[in-house]
Amino acid sequence: MKELQAANKSKQLELEAEAASHAAEEEKKRLQTQVELQARFSTELEREKLIKQQMEEQVAPKSSELEQYLQRVQELEDMYLRLQESLENQRQAQQDDETVWKLQARLLEEESSKRAELKKWHLEQQQAIQTTETEKQELENQRVLEKRALQEAMEQLEQLELERKQALEQY
Residue-range definition of the domain harbouring residue 101: 2-170
Phi first, then psi, for residue 60 (nearest 5°) are -60, -40
Question: pLDDT tens, 41-91?
Answer: 889 889 989 988 887 777 666 677 778 888 999 999 999 999 999 999 999
Is the pLDDT score of 166 beyond 70? Answer: yes
pTM of the model: 0.37
Report how many domains make up the chain. Answer: 1
Report the alpha-carbon distance of residue 32 to residue 36 in Å, rounded. 6
Is the pLDDT score of 159 beyond 80? Answer: yes
Sign of CA pseudo-dihedral 12, 13, 14, 19:
positive
pLDDT on residue 65 = 74
